[in-house]
């Protein structure tokens, strides 16, 4: 075992027993052992807190007395005197008293009526060594029961955020630990996500000892916490799954005396809905006292607190070493024989459990927080988003039943988004919603890349405007259940039966006619309904201001129309050395900022295939993520979608020269454009021709920046073969140039691009 609280050698016929204890007041800065040669030595290290922890205190007292008797060869009266003396070392820890009482009973039994010194030693030594062995075995069993209890409360959770106080590990016991034993058992199955360690003033056992154990054993994400920061830490983590604490004495009603600050932690756990477990070997259960009112609380010397706090030497102090946590705040008491749970009235029956551990009531449900449900003012996590969804349950009646609780919901983060936090939250019946939150930065670039978080509000306004101006497009939009403008978070329909069009284009590029038709219809309906030529001037002006979207428009201007061509290296020269191509890019840039005042509509703004969800079997088409929405050139949306299809075609050409796929994608584009023109026919042929040619120009810019490495996260052209990839990228650059330079030919330019790959 890597961490030892004591070193004991029982000796043999020629050598005496020896004992030394780790001086825990010097940990973590030094690992020094103090030799124990007498009962006085044992009393001293217990009283002065060189050793601490209820199980360890009892062991040191028993083993110290064993060493004493072995060296002095004293009689029973001497042993009984030392037992009473050792009891005075720490008055609160019941293990010490239980051990001393058991030893007294053994020495006073009929078998020891007139014992010799050797008999007194034999009885004491046998009991001490039994306690030593039983403590280690009990701790391991306790740890496993505790780990199972935590897992049973969260059946859909693999890793847990845990809090603890003081030190209840290998340094407080013969090994493994009690409360820390639960953490050790969870860690042994890779089930620990984080450990929050309260410093435990004024002696700082958490800071000195538990933090030391956490570092030594490499527990993940272990964090030392200021005692008074408990509620803030729970809020910061989002969901602490449980707190586990030790015990120095447990009354028969479940009231628990433990290190000062435990009551404080329990109150916050109760208020914030965190299960609170006490780890207590049965040797710490005191069935002789009714409640915590009967527990004597040790008060430490005033100077200990004054010196630790650098306080004025004359200030009065109250320095209790322990406090009593009422049983009403405790979720369960974990022992080596099982977990004691409260009955339906919330009462613990310790005596009944000790008589029959199988009689314990069932595990209670997760506690309901007394604190109002959290908002999303902080960034949501997989731990906090279930509670956030629960707080908006009234808006989700068609998804989740009224009986839903935070603990019945689980969350998974979707990591595909470049800008935002995104989660799927579901219940045990797999009913699900999608939650999206906008931070004030670009998520994929980090917090230094600042970006206005109001983009989520803009996204919702875009959905609303599409529905208001063109109700017929509603089948193509997901349901928005709730939007929180203060936190830029919305909850919407989860499209679990769909896949991204981008993924489908790569993996299986065959489509029912309804997919192309749906895309064309959606785009045609929304563009014609909001086109500057079809609405009043004042409405158009309002749209231009409302959907100006300067921050994200600035990103597009930089990455789509500027950065790639300036920093694209050798491949970019093929484009930058073509005056016609660069003039085309400049024209697309001019259109993008709204300089063509007679050809504007409400555009998605980033309608690449990653913003389209489809179900090819059911012909479902859903448009998502319009956070780049602008009142701008409608060709922008066509170009974004077309670029994905062109890139997929190049992908299949160089991956396997799949002629069938290329022909299918050409037909897909033809059907899409035809349905777009049909749905937007009110705009007239000349406007539609201009939109298509502009779309090809925007498509060229997107294809080019992808080939030049300025479009992260795309699936296209990701080949393991470096030579093949380089060849494909070079061909993609040439395709982009050809599309831009021939865009005025409209559909003929697109057909030529496909035919060139056949």
d(CA 131, CA 116): 23
d(CA 747, CA 677): 12
In the chain, how long is the greatest CA-to-CA distance?
A: 118
- ∠552-557-563 over CA atoms, to 5°? 120
Neighbour count for residue 521 (Cβ, 10 Å) = 22
Cα 737 to chain centroid distance, Å, stands at 45
Q: Alpha carbon of 484 to those of 145, 377, 457, 581: distances in Å? A: 42, 10, 9, 44
Q: Point out the residues that are catalytic.
A: 248
Q: Is the peptide bond before 202 cis (omega within 30 degrees of 0)?
A: yes
CB 246 within 8 A of CB 335: no
| Beta strand residue intervals within 292-368, DSSP E | 322-325, 332-335, 338-340
Q: Alpha carbon of 85 to those of 104, 431, 709: distances in Å? A: 13, 65, 78
d(CA 199, CA 211): 9
CB 699 within 8 A of CB 739: yes
User: What one-character DSSP code corresponds to residue 337?
Assistant: T
DSSP class per residue in 375-409:
-SSSPP-TTTHHHHHHHTGGG-TTTS-TT--GGG-
SS3 13: coil
| Beta strand residue intervals within 465-586, DSSP E | 480-484, 489-493, 499-500
Name residues whose C-beta falls within 8 Å of residue 513's C-beta, 6 or more positions apart in sequence: 671
Nearest residue to 749 via CA among 738, 758, 757: 738
Q: Return the H-helix or E-strand segment holding 194.
A: strand 192-198
Rg from Cα positions in the chain: 36
Cα 156 to chain centroid distance, Å, stands at 13
Q: Return the H-helix or E-strand segment holding 587.
A: helix 579-592
CB 553 within 8 A of CB 630: yes
Q: How many CA atoms lie within 13 A of 590 on its CB side?
A: 10
- Which tokens is 121 given? 């030693």
**Token pair 């895309």 in the structure block, residue:** 519
CB 266 within 8 A of CB 260: no
Nearest residue to 704 via CA among 505, 562, 513: 562
Cα 363 to chain centroid distance, Å, stands at 25
SS3 213: helix
Q: Return the H-helix or E-strand segment holding 184.
A: helix 179-187
CB 324 within 8 A of CB 292: yes
């Amino acid at each position: 075992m890597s961490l030892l609280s004591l070193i004991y050698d029982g000796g043999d016929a020629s050598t005496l027993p020896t004992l030394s204890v780790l001086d825990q007041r010097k940990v973590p800065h030094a690992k020094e052992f103090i030799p124990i040669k007498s009962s006085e030595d044992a009393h001293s290290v217990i009283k002065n807190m060189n050793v601490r922890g209820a199980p360890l205190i009892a062991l040191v007292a028993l083993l110290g007395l064993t060493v004493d008797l072995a060296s002095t060869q004293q009689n029973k009266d001497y042993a009984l005197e030392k037992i009473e003396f050792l009891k005075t070392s720490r008055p609160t820890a019941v293990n010490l008293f239980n051990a001393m009482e058991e030893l007294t009973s053994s020495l006073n039994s009929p078998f020891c009526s007139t014992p010799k010194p050797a008999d007194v030693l034999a009885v004491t030594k046998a009991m001490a060594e039994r306690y030593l062995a039983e403590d280690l075995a009990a701790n391991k069993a306790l740890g496993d029961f505790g780990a199972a209890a935590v897992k049973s409360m969260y059946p859909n959770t693999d890793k847990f955020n845990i809090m603890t106080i003081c030190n209840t590990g290998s340094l407080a016991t013969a090994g493994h630990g009690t409360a820390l034993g639960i953490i050790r058992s969870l860690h042994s199955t890779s089930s620990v996500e984080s450990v929050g360690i309260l410093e435990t003033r004024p002696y700082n056992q958490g800071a000195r000892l538990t933090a030391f154990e956490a570092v030594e054993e490499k527990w993940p994400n272990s964090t030392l916490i200021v005692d008074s920061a408990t509620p803030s830490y729970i809020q910061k983590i989002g969901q602490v799954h449980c707190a586990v604490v030790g015990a120095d004495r447990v009354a028969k009603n479940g009231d628990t005396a433990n290190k000062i600050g435990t009551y404080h932690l329990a109150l916050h756990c109760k208020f914030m809905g965190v299960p609170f477990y006490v780890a207590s070997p049965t040797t710490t259960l005191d069935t002789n006292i009714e409640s915590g009112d009967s527990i004597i609380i040790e008060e430490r010397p005033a100077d200990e607190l004054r010196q630790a706090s650098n306080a004025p030497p004359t200030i009065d102090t109250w320095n209790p070493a322990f406090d009593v946590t009422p049983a009403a705040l405790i979720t369960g008491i974990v022992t080596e024989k099982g977990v004691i749970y409260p009955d339906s009235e919330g009462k613990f029956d310790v005596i009944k459990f000790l008589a029959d551990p199988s009689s314990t009531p069932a595990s209670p449900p997760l506690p309901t927080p007394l604190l109002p449900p959290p908002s999303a003012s902080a960034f949501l996590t997989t731990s906090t988003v279930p509670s956030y969804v629960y707080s908006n349950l009234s808006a989700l009646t068609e998804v989740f039943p009224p009986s839903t609780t935070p603990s019945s919901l689980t969350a998974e983060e979707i990591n595909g988004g470049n800008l935002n936090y995104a989660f799927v939250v579901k219940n045990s019946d797999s009913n699900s919603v999608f939650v999206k939150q906008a931070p004030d930065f670009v998520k994929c670039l980090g917090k230094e890349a600042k970006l206005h978080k109001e983009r989520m509000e803009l996204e919702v306004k875009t959905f609303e405007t599409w529905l208001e101006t063109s109700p017929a497009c509603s089948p193509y939009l997901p349901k928005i259940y709730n939007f929180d403008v203060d936190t830029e978070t919305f909850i919407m329909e989860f499209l679990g039966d769909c896949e991204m069009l981008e993924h489908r284009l790569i993996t299986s590029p065959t489509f029912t006619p309804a997919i192309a038709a749906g895309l064309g219809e959606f785009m045609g309906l929304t563009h014609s309904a909001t086109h500057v030529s079809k609405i009043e001037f004042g409405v158009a002006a309002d749209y231009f201001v409302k959907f100006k979207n300067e921050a994200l428009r600035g990103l597009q201007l930089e990455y789509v129309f500027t950065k790639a061509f300036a920093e694209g290296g050798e491949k970019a020269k093929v484009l930058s050395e073509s005056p016609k191509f660069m003039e085309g890019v400049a024209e697309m840039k001019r259109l993008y900022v709204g300089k063509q005042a007679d050809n504007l509509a409400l555009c998605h703004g980033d309608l690449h295939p990653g913003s389209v969800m489809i179900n090819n079997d059911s012909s479902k088409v859903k448009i998502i993520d319009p956070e780049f929405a602008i009142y701008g050139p409608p060709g922008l949306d066509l170009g974004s979608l077309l670029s994905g299809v062109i890139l997929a075609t190049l992908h299949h050409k160089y991956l396997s020269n799949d002629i069938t796929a290329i022909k299918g994608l050409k037909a897909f584009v033809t059907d899409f454009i035809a349905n777009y023109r049909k749905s937007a026919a009110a705009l007239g042929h000349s406007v539609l021709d201009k939109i298509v040619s502009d779309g090809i120009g925007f498509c060229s810019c997107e294809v080019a920046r992808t080939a030049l490495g300025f479009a992260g996260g795309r699936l296209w052209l990701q080949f393991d073969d470096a030579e093949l990839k380089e060849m494909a990228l070079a061909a993609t650059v040439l395709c982009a140039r050809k599309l831009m330079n021939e865009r005025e030919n409209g559909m003929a330019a697109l057909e030529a691009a496909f035919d060139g790959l056949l």
